[in-house]
Structure 1
Amino acid sequence: MTHLSLEPILARIHQAEAFDEMRCVRDQVQEMFREHLLLSYTAELGDQINLVHDTFIGRTAELAESMLEAEGLGKPPVEYAFFLLGSGGRSEQTLWSDQDNGLIYADSETYPQEALEGYFSRLVSLILHGLDVLGYPPCEGNVVSSNPQWRKSEAGYRAMTLEWLTDPNWENMRYLLILADIRCIYGAPRLVERLKSMMLTYIAEHPAILDNLLSNTLRHKISLGIFGQLITERYGEDAGGFDIKYGAYIPIVNGIRLLAIQAGIAESSTMMRIRLLREQGAVAEPLTREWETAFGTAIRLRNATPFQVEEEKYTTRGRLTAEQLTKETRQMLKQCLRTGVELQKYVAKSIESYREKG
């Protein structure tokens, strides 16, 4: 496959002075990447896709700041971080990823809370408008910075996170697992790093919470039948297809994430989490190599799902079509799923063993 040079693309994004201008660049980039994906998916191509997304989102935040200054609201009153969650937080976005984001701003003794909230609420509205223009659909679960839950001061986030940690109900555990994938995309990374460190330190000191995180982690089962057959879609326009996102990719991501939390690993990328689990001696090398292969298959096939533009947004249903499930793909997918099943068993045993030891 011909090497894809990103320098001219990144330069055009950085030089863009309006959201509409960036949308034109994104449309061109989508087509260019789509052609490469039709030939072959590689880890390098996945990294390039994520770098371009990061650049689009970072430039959007930068332009939003400039717009606020032009409106007379000035520069940000305190430092802040605009961060990504979900696949964006893990640097695993596909061409059609949606918006999973939040904003954290520093505490201040100079500016009243009402003034800070007013500024950052307006900033977020401009950022999300820009991402909307660029074709990023909003998160269906409302994990987005327009939701006050995901737009707070550092003290506000710490209080909310502590509340989740001390009241381990199902919903709070879901939020903690979402937060574990946090990654700063623009602004002051230390605000994000301190929050993640606080969460990991608390869990290390109160390991019983891993049991609560486990049940949430295992809620998505690998889509492999008891006789080793793929569990495909039975009805509708996706009949005969395979839900690669929730049947393979998400269960693997979830399992690796909990092992990383257990080991105190702050890294959010799934592949880096596997690597660090191996390097720290938390998991034997042969197992981690199997997980890397399975995850590579899952993310490769996830990038192969058809996508479309609906209401100017890039979207996908996250399913491989029946036609895409060739004999070769089925064999590769089944091996990925078998590894995924064993991974989920390993995670459950690991948490049980950890609990029994202390």
Structure 2
Amino acid sequence: MNHLSMERILERIEQSEQFDEMRITRDQVHEMFREHLLFSYTPEIGQLINQVHDALIQRTVLLAEQLLEDEGYGKPPVAYAFVLLGSGGRREQTLWSDQDNGLIYEESESHTQEQLDAYFDRLASYILRGLDILGYPPCEGNVISSNPQWRKSLTSYTDMMMGWFLEPDWENVRYLLIMADMRCMYGSNELVIKLKQAFLAYVHENPSVLKYLLSNTLHHKISLGIFGHLITERYGEDAGGVDIKYGAYIPIVNGIRLLAIQAGIQATSTVERIQQLRMNAVVSEQLAADWEWSFAVALRLRDMTPFQLEDEKYTTRGKLTAEQLTKETRAALKQCLRTGMELQKYVSKSIESHIEREKG
């Protein structure tokens, strides 16, 4: 890789003692990867991008811990997990992904709930300040560890999750599907595993809840018209372009995630979920290969979408411009979208059949 080797990049992040120092590294790496994406995209580049994001976030959490200790708040009073949700949880971040995160901590016999809340509230604020300096915009939906809803003990998380299952309205189901992508970024992975086991156990014992998850899963429609034409943006600065994030990438992610939940698979990345569905003989080799190809196209095109710096934060609208829709790109995108539509039909049929079998 040009300019800097991955080993050197990760070493620089690991040795950083200030958030500002890491921001310089991130900006340099961003430009380096951007050059690669302009000329050729490979899944390996996507994996490297996520490896850098992970290293930056892990170092940010460690520095936040050290800041608290230096200010006299001591070490973490109990084990905890700083978790990523959304594309970070799935290891599918772009160069400009925002913050989707949470924090889970153990209960304690030697500390009061107020003491635990106070420590982790302050820790979360330091982590988010660091991520802000690094150029990660906060999640617009407030799925972030500064929000007490996403920062609590394992018992409280479990109780909250069960409450969502028992009242599966649209918003609660949205939260459940967000939680399904949870990945431990720093700290105790055991806490995350326990929460995910409780999640999958509930679905296994109460398969009727899958119909609510299905409704939410199919919410985003594929950007392909009934006559096989691309559905493009009609107005504004994106006119003539295509919404890759919500018209291609998200529908595929959502469909695969629900099949993984149905099958009791804990993996969070879409590629790993497809591989495990195939290995467990839940889907055929051909279907899995088709889904992997379409997902790779969606990822590649999503990484080609233009980005901008707003208030020093990296952001994107997730849309390919009309100029980027070359003949070759259109052909690949249409095939990706056709497969995405078939995937949504498959998921719907699979879930409905599963519910009927369980009833019988």
- TM-score of the two chains, using structure 1 as the length reference: 0.99
User: Structure 1 CA distance, aligned partners of 2:354 and 2:27?
Assistant: 48
Cα 1:303–1:184, aligned 2, differ >3 Å: closer, same or farther? Answer: same
User: Structure 1 CA distance, aligned partners of 2:336 and 2:165?
Assistant: 33
Q: How far apart are 1:68 and its partner, in Å?
A: 0.2
User: Structure 1 CA distance, aligned partners of 2:315 and 2:174?
Assistant: 24
1:118 alignment counterpart: 118
Structure 1 residue 68 corresponds to structure 2 residue 62: no
User: Structure 2 CA distance, aligned partners of 1:270 and 1:281?
Assistant: 17
- Match runs of 1:144-159 below 5 Å: 144-159=144-159
SS of 2:111's partner is coil
SS of 1:103's partner is strand
1:12 alignment counterpart: 12
Q: RMSD of the alignment, in Å?
A: 1.0
Deviations 1:208-248 (A, max 9, x none): 00001000000001010000000000000000001000000
1:131 alignment counterpart: 131
SS of 2:118's partner is helix
Residue identity matched to 1:350: S
2:48 alignment counterpart: 48
User: Structure 1 CA distance, aligned partners of 2:186 and 2:336?
Assistant: 35
SS of 1:208's partner is helix
Q: How far apart are 1:4 and its partner, in Å?
A: 7.1
1:218 alignment counterpart: 218
Structure 1 residue 288 corresponds to structure 2 residue 260: no
Q: Bigger shift: 3-12 or 306-315? A: 3-12
Q: Percent identity?
A: 69
2:274 alignment counterpart: 274
User: Structure 1 CA distance, aligned partners of 2:179 and 2:40?
Assistant: 32
Residue identity matched to 2:187: G
Contact kept? 2:104, 2:191, Cα under 8 Å: yes
- TM-score of the two chains, using structure 2 as the length reference: 0.98
- Structure 2, gaps ≥5 residues long: none
Q: How far apart are 1:109 and its partner, in Å?
A: 1.2
Contact kept? 2:2, 2:32, Cα under 8 Å: no
User: Structure 2 CA distance, aligned partners of 1:281 and 1:72?
Assistant: 54
Q: How far apart are 1:2 and its partner, in Å?
A: 6.6
1:96 alignment counterpart: 96
1:208 alignment counterpart: 208
SS of 1:185's partner is strand
SS of 1:303's partner is helix
Deviations 1:3-43 (A, max 9, x none): 97300000000100000111111110101110111111111
Contact kept? 2:3, 2:32, Cα under 8 Å: no
SS of 2:44's partner is helix
Q: How far apart are 1:296 and its partner, in Å?
A: 0.3
1:35 alignment counterpart: 35
Q: Bigger shift: 333-342 or 282-291? A: 282-291
Q: How far apart are 1:301 and its partner, in Å?
A: 0.3
SS of 2:207's partner is coil
Cα 1:4–1:342, aligned 2, differ >3 Å: closer, same or farther? Answer: farther
Deviations 1:147-171 (A, max 9, x none): 1000000111011011111111111
User: Structure 2 CA distance, aligned partners of 1:4 and 1:198?
Assistant: 43
